[in-house]
Structure 1
Amino acid sequence: MKFVDEAFIDIAAGDGGNGCVSFRHEKYKEFGGPNGGDGGRGGHVFAVADPNLNTLVDFRYSRRHDAKRGQHGMGSDMFGAAGDDITLKMPVGTIITDAETGEVLYELLVPGEVITIAKGGDGGFGNMRFKSAINRAPRQKTPGWPGEKKSLKLELKVLADVGLLGMPNAGKSTLISAISNARPRIADYPFTTLHPNLGVVRVGPEQSFVVADLPGLIEGASEGAGLGHLFLRHLQRTRLLLHMIDMAPFDDSIDPVAQAKAIVGELKKYDAALYQKPRWLVLNKLDMVPSDERAALVKDFVKRLRFKGPVFEISALTREGCEPLVKAIYQHVKAEQVAEQAPAEVDPRFAPEPPPTESV
C-alpha cells in the first residue's frame, strides 16, 4: 500500500430537516389544531482512530465526505428521522487541522478514540410548537439549521517511542529488522527506505516499545533536499532518537564525523525542540572494522564529534551489541512513561488541608 501522510478533505454534516405545517383533520374534530412535527437532525461526521491503519491513502482518492440531511417533519405529530451519520477511519497519530486557518482542531492519539469533527444541523420546528392560547392555528414553521462544513488537512505523525535517524545506508533498516518484527526493504544502495517503517521490539513478557525507521537525511534536508525532510515531523513524538553512524563507509573520502554533524545541524534547523530530544549514538557496521582497530576508531570519532551522551557499538547485520542496546532503550522509555504518568507537584500554598483528627 502506498504510504501517504498528508491529505486534504472537505466534509459536510447534514442539514436539519424543515418543520411541517399541518392541521388535524378528523371526523367530528372540526378544530383539531396544529399537528406539524419538527424536522430531524442532520447527520454528524465522526473520526475514529483505527489502529489497523498506517496511512492516509484512502483520503487521497476520496476527498468529499457528506452526511445525510435530516428528514422533514410530517403531520400527525410525526417528527422527521435524523440523518445518517458517517464515520471516517483514520490512523492513530492523525492531526486534523483547519485547512484555511492552520488551526489544529483535533489529534487522534488513542486507539479507538472517537471525535465529532462536524455537527449536523438541528431540525426546524413544526407549527405545533407555536400553538398558544392566543394563536390556536399557527402557520409558522422554521427551516432546518445547516450542518457544519469544513475544509480539513490531515497530517499523520507516526507514534513511536524511538526514532532512527542517520544518513542513507547507515543501517537503520537492518537494525529495525534485527531487533523487531518489521521487515523493511533492504538493499546495498542509498534511499532504500521510502516511507517510515514501524516495528515492535519485545524485550520480555508485556515489555515492548515501538521503533520507527525513517528515510535517511542528507545535508540540506531541512530545506527540502533528499527524502528525509518529508518525514522529519514523525520524529517529534518520539521519546528517544538513535543517531546511527556508518563506521565503515564504502568510500574512504567520506568522513563519518562530518556526516554526523550535518545530521545534527539539520535537526536544529528544522525544529529546536527536536534538537533538544535525548539522542544516543549508535556506531554501526563495526564488524567490517578489524577488531584491533575498533577501540581507537571509536575513541577518535567520539572525541572529534564532542559527543557527551551514551554511545553504543553494534553490528546490525550480525546483531553484535544489539541486546544491550535494546535493554537500555527499554529502560529509558519505561522511565519516560513513568515520569509522564507521575502526578504533578502541588504548590504547598494551595495544597488541601488534612482532615481534622478526632480525639478519643
Structure 2
Amino acid sequence: MFVDKAKIYVKGGDGGDGLVAFRREKYVPEGGPAGGDGGNGGNVIFRVDEGLRTLVDFRYQKHFKAERGEKGRNKSQHGANAEHMIVRVPPGTVVIDDDTQEIIADLTRHGQEVVIAKGGRGGRGNTRFATANNTAPEIAENGEEGQERWVVLELKVMADVGLVGFPSVGKSTLLSVVSGAKPKIGAYHFTTLTPNLGVVDVGDGRSFVMADLPGLIEGAHEGVGLGHEFLRHVERTRIILHVVDMAGTEGRDPFEDWLKINEELKLYNAKLEERPQLIAANKMDIPDAEVYLESFKEQLAARGLDIPIFPISAVSKSGVQEMLYKVMDLLETIPEMPMVEELVDLSERKVYRLEEGDDDSFVIRRDNEAFVVESPSIEKLIKRTNFSTQEAVMRFARILRKKGIDKALRERGAKDGTTVRIGDFEFEFVEQE
C-alpha cells in the first residue's frame, strides 16, 4: 500500500525530577545535601532509511513518545538520561508543523537525522541549591517537560525520471515494459492513483529509477483532480519525461495537451519550468500518429523550442531502447541532488525550536475577581518547582518579587486573599509586612 501523507503526534521525554537528600554517614555529622539531578528526557529523532518507500507505517502508529529521564539519586548521583527514540522515515519526507504550517525538515539522504521533539532537561537536586547562607536546602526541581507537537509528513517520491502526461497516454504501460514494476493498467482515466516506482536497466550496466505519476488535468495546480497529490511528487524528479498520446486517441490535440501540462507544472512551482524535459511521442503504431508528430514538431519549432522528441510505442516497444539510452546520457550530466526550491541542508542543524529564555516580561489582566499573570518564564518555573516544601514556596515568592510581579499586582489593586492565577497554578496574594 502506497501512503504519501500522514499526521502524527511526537513528544520528547520529560526530564527526571531532582532529589532532596542528605548525606547520612557515621562519623559525618551534618553531612550536607546529597540529592542528585534528574536525567534528561529522550529526543524524538527522525532518521532517513532508504529501504522505506511509503509512509504506511504511520497509518497504524500515530503517537511517538520518548522515555523520561530517571530521577536524581542520593549520594549526589545523577539520574540516567533516557534513550532517544529513533523514527525511521523514507527519503523524500517533508516534515511540517501542523500548527504553523512551517517546514521543519526536508529529509532526502540515507542516514540523515533531525530532532523533531527535544526531550526536557532533568531537574536540579538540592545539592545545586546549597549556599553559604543555606547549607542544607530542601529544594529540588521537577524535570522539564519535553517538547510536543503534531506534525504532518508528506512524501515526495525520489526518482530520477518522472513520467507526466494526461490520463491514459500510456505512462503505466511504458513503465511496465522498461522495468519490473507492475502498475495497474486500464482503459479509463486515473487508472493510476498513486505513484509507481521501477528500476530501469538500460542494458549497458547503467540503471535509473523511473516513477509513473498519476495523470494530470487542467486546474491541477489548484487541486482539481488528483491535483497537489500528484504535483508534489514531480518536484523530486531530475528529468521530466512527458508522455504524449501522439495518435490523439482521446480526441485531443497532442500539442495542446503538452502545453496544458507544462502550464500546470509552472503554475504549481515555477522552478519546474527549468527542469530538463524530454518528450515521448507514444502510440506511434496507430494510424495518423505520423501526421500529428510532424505538426507537433512544427509548432515546437515555431515557438523556438528545441526539446528532444522520441517516437515510441510502449505496446510494441518500438523506439523505447533508444530513448532509454538518451535519458541515461542526460542523467549523467545533471546533479544527483533533487532540484527543490525549499530543500534544506540539515546535516548540522538539529533543533528547530529555540529554548524559551528567562524573559522577564509579563502581562496582568483581570478575570472577574481574580488576577491572571501571563508570563512564559514564570509558567515554566511553576512546572519545575516542587511545592511540597516551605522552602520551595518561599523561593518561588522571592522570584515573583524580584521580577516585579508582586509590585505590579499591588498597583492593580490586589490585596490579602486576592486570587492570583498563573497558567494552571492558583494561589492567594499575601501582602508582605
Band the TM-score falls in, shorter-chain normalisation: 0.7 to 0.9
Mapped partners of 2:98, 2:170: distance in 1: 37
Q: Equivalents in 2 of 1:204, 1:142: separation in Å? A: 66
Give the whole-Å Cα distance in 2 for the aligned partners of 1:287 and 1:210. 26
Of the three residues 274, 284, 287, the one matched with 2:285 is: 287
1:22-41 aligned at under 5 Å gives the runs 22-41=21-40
User: How has the CA–CA distance of structure 1 residues 66 and 209 changed in structure 2, closer, same or farther, with 3 Å as cutoff?
Assistant: same
Higher mean displacement: 240-249 or 260-269 = 260-269
Structure 1 position 303 matched with structure 2 position 298: yes
SS of the counterpart of 2:202? strand
**Separation (CA, whole Å) in 1 of partners of 2:117 and 2:206:** 39
Fraction of identical pairs, as percent:
47
Give the gaps of 5 or more residues in structure 2: 339-433
Counterparts of residues 205-244 of structure 1 (less than 5 Å): 207-244=206-243
TM-score by length of 2: 0.72
Counterpart CA distance in 1 for 2:244 and 2:152 is 35
* Contact residue 39 and residue 124 of structure 1 kept, 8 A: yes
Post-superposition shift, 1:129? 2.5
**Corresponding residue number in structure 2 for 1:62:** 61
1:177 aligned counterpart, secondary structure: helix
Identify if the C-alpha distance between structure 1 residues 338 and 109 changes in structure 2 by more than 3 Å, giving closer, same or farther. Answer: closer
In the other structure, the counterpart of 2:343 is none
Work out which of the residue numbers 327, 333, 343 in structure 2 matches 1:329: 327
CA distance in 2, matches of 1:125, 1:228: 53
**CA separation in 2, counterparts of 1:238 and 1:114?**
22
Structure whose CA Rg is larger: 2
Give the equivalent residue in structure 2 for 1:76: 75
**How much does 1:234 deviate?**
0.7
**What's the C-alpha RMSD, in Å, of the aligned pairs?**
2.2
1:200 — aligned with what? 199
Question: 1:162, 1:239 within 8 Å by CA — same for their partners in 2?
Answer: yes
Q: After superposition, give the CA deviation of every residue in 1:150-173 in whole Å (9 maximum; x if it has no partner).
A: 221211111111111111111101
Q: How many Å separate the matches in 1 of 2:337 and 2:25?
A: 72
The answer for the alignment partner of 2:388 in structure 1 is none
In structure 1, give the amino acid aligned to 2:172: S
Deviation string, structure 1 residues 291-320 (Cα, Å, up to 9, x no partner):
xx6544421122235553111100111111
Give the whole-Å Cα distance in 2 for the aligned partners of 1:119 and 1:60. Answer: 23
Looking at structure 1, the residues matched to 221 and 43 of structure 2 have their Cα atoms a distance apart, in angstroms, of 39
Gaps of 5+ in 1: 341-360
TM value normalised by structure 1: 0.86
2:119 matched to which residue of 1? 120
| Separation of aligned partners in 2, 1:299 and 1:209 | 30
Please state how far the C-alpha of 1:123 moved relative to its aligned partner.
Answer: 0.8
SS of the residue aligned with 1:286? coil
Paired residues, number: 335
Partner of 2:253: 255
Q: What pairs up with 1:90-169 in 2 under 5 angstroms?
A: 90-132=89-131, 134-169=133-168
Question: What per-residue deviation string (whole Å, max 9, x for no partner) do you get for residues 119-166 of structure 1?
Answer: 111111112233455543232222222211222121111111111111
